[in-house]
Amino acid sequence: MFEFIEEFIAFIKSLTTEHFVRLFWFFIFFEMIRYIILEFVVLLIYKITTKLKTKHTIEAERLFKFDNPFLSIIVPGKNEGENLFKLINSLKEQTYTNFEIIVVDDGSDDETPTIGRKLVKIGLIKHFIRNEIRGGKASAANLALRFAKGKFVIHLDADCSFDNDAIEKIIIPFYLDDKIGAVGGNVAVRNYKETLVTTLQAIEYYDTISISRIVSSNLGIYRVISGAFGAFKKEALDSLKGWDIGPGLDGDITVKIRKLGYKIEFAPEAMCLTNAPNTIKKLTKQRLRWDKSLVRFRMRKHKNIFYPNKSFNFSNFISLFENIMYGFVLNIKWVFYVIDIWFNNASQIEFIFVTNIILYTIANYFKFIVFSLFRTRKNAPISYFLMYIPAMVFYFGYYLRSVRLVAHFQELFFKTSYKDPWNPKKTSRFAKDNNL
């Protein structure tokens, strides 16, 4: 052990700048520049512009209150009965109350119909609509849309709960700019203490998801409005005739709204808490589904964004390009990095591995602590997560990368997303045949 440490110190001492760049090019050029420097710079700009835009924001709030828009909150889902009371209670506490709640039961086989009908009876929800035959999340959301009367439609997952001003905060951005067609809410992990898996996801939601969305939103390339909490202009959804078949329909609808010429905004202060998968098996299943959507939707269904035709839009191009570049190309490039090191520096591989871990851990600590200055809302103390930061190297750097690689491979060559039981076969069959 001591011998290894001595050899490792000697390895570090022997590193020249040129040698360091050669061995850790992946970290320096792709990870550090994109996820630390660029994000930090954009966050700084965001912070400054937010201060500068204060008047503009106040005016948007005033317009929102003056307009007092009627909202339709839609909650599609299957077997979500037990979550409904908690969700409704959370919505009852909202500072903004001019909304209707529409719950669509997509062929539940539990007590959901009884609970839903009771909630209508006691006046807590406007509509409870039941499809006896399961049609998938898109069809359930589209049915809810058919009933929606609001100027804006808010799509929620039933297992979520919300800050009492979340509804207000997610709608105000629409009054900042008339061209905004959809706004994504900020999602954090409620059950972060449950298992190590949920704790690591909570850190991921803080950094990679929440912070990344602030950054991408400010760069005008924000591309996935989470199905857990997203608001849409009703007219935009109507002109699209609702959601297309999933899985991955959240990202799909965001791209489609972009294509209509609308802007997409992230509302970091519109806070939603959700329960993250608590086992590695469940998490893997979820992430395989999420990651396949990059290939299915960005690279296959919406590839026309890259075509230089009349409807070409630069920010849409950058949005998808960045997504494919960092989500797909660099993920494969990372494999090349491993092969490069394996073949060219096999004798030092264990020292390179440890150095990478140290670099990533330092970067993760830096990001987590410094970026916390930019987080507008925290649902857990930062100190709680500090001891788990080293594990993020393995979680994010190895586990999630591997899952992503498998997902991309499966989708690219076998189109396995169309076999995902998350969506009924009867609809997936059509989606596959028509490359939807």
Partner 1 sequence: MSSQNENLLNNEGEFQYKGHSFYILYPNSTKTIEQLTEYEIILIYASHPEFASFTIRKLRGFKDPAMYLKPIFFLKPSNDTNNYLNTISDGSIYNLSQLDALIPSIEEILTANTKVYINNSISYESELIMKMLSFNFTRGRKQINPIPYMLSAINFCYPGLSSSFGYSEENKVFDILELAESEGLISSSFYDKTHYCSKCNNGALYYRSVCPKCSSSNSDTEDIVHHFRCGYVGPISDYKNEIDDTLFCPKCNKNLRHIGVDYDKPSALHTCNSCSNKFQDFEVKAKCMNCEYDNEIEYLIEKEIKKYTITNKGESAILYGYVAMQKEIEEIIGTVKFELFNKMTKFEIERMKYSKHQSFVALLNLKNTNELITKVGRSHQRELIKDIILTVRNSIKPFDIISFRSLSTFVFSINEEKEETALKTVYELSNLLNFLLTDNVPGFDAKFEFDFLVLNTHEHYKKQLDRLIQNYE
Chain contacts with partner 1 (rule: CB under 8 A): 107, 117, 120, 127-136, 138-140, 142-143, 146-147, 241-245, 426-427, 429-431, 434, 436
Smallest separation, CB 125 to partner 1 (Å):
12
Strand 263-274 relative to strand 180-189: parallel, antiparallel, unpaired?
parallel
Please, which residue, 215 or 240, has the CB nearer to partner 1?
240
Cα(150)–Cα(99) distance, integer angstroms: 7
Closest distance of CB 288 from partner 1, Å: 22
Cα–Cα distance between 196 and 391 in angstroms, integer? 9
Nearest Cα residue to 184 out of 249, 270, 262, 58: 270
* HSE value, Cβ hemisphere, 13 Å, CA-based, for 427: 20
Task: Using DSSP, state whether 132 is helix, strand or coil.
Answer: coil
Q: Which is nearer to partner 1, 65 or 426 (CB)?
A: 426
Nearest distance in Å: CB 117, partner 1: 6
* Of residues 246 and 397, the one with the C-beta less far from partner 1: 246
DSSP H helices, 327-421, are 330-344, 349-371, 382-386, 391-392, 401-414
Query: In the complex with partner 1, which residue's Cβ is closer, 3 or 433?
Result: 433
22 vs 419, which CB is nearer to partner 1? 419
To partner 1, the closest distance from the beta carbon of 241 in angstroms equals 4
Pick between residue 282 and residue 426 the one whose CB is nearest to partner 1. 426
Nearer to partner 1, 67 or 238 (CB): 238
Considering the complex, what minimum distance in angstroms separates the CB of residue 260 from partner 1?
14
* Distance set, CA 352 to CA 9, 14, 295, 390, 391 (Å): 12, 13, 32, 17, 18
**∠ CA 77-405-343, rounded to 5°:** 165
Q: Helix %, strand %, coil % for the chain, to 5?
A: 65, 10, 25
Shorter beta-carbon distance to partner 1: residue 220 or 242: 242
CA–CA distance, 35 with 395 (Å, rounded to integer): 16
For the bound state, the minimum distance from the C-beta of residue 130 to partner 1, rounded and expressed in Å, comes to: 6
Write down the residue that tokens 């998808």 correspond to.
Answer: 320
* φ and ψ of 384, to 5 deg: -60, -35
Using the CB atoms, write b or e for 2-19: b if 16+ within 10 Å. Answer: eeeeeebeebeeeeeeee
Tell me how far apart the alpha carbons of residues 320 and 255 are, in angstroms, rounded to a whole number.
9
Q: Where are the alpha helices (DSSP H) in 172-313?
A: 196-204, 212-219, 234-240, 249-259, 280-293
Query: Judged by CB, which is closer to partner 1: 309, or 434?
Result: 434
Please state the closest distance from residue 180 (CB atom) to partner 1, in A.
24
Per-residue tokens: 174: 């629409």
Q: How far is the CB of 224 from partner 1 (least distance, A)?
A: 18
Q: How far is the CB of 78 from partner 1 (least distance, A)?
A: 12
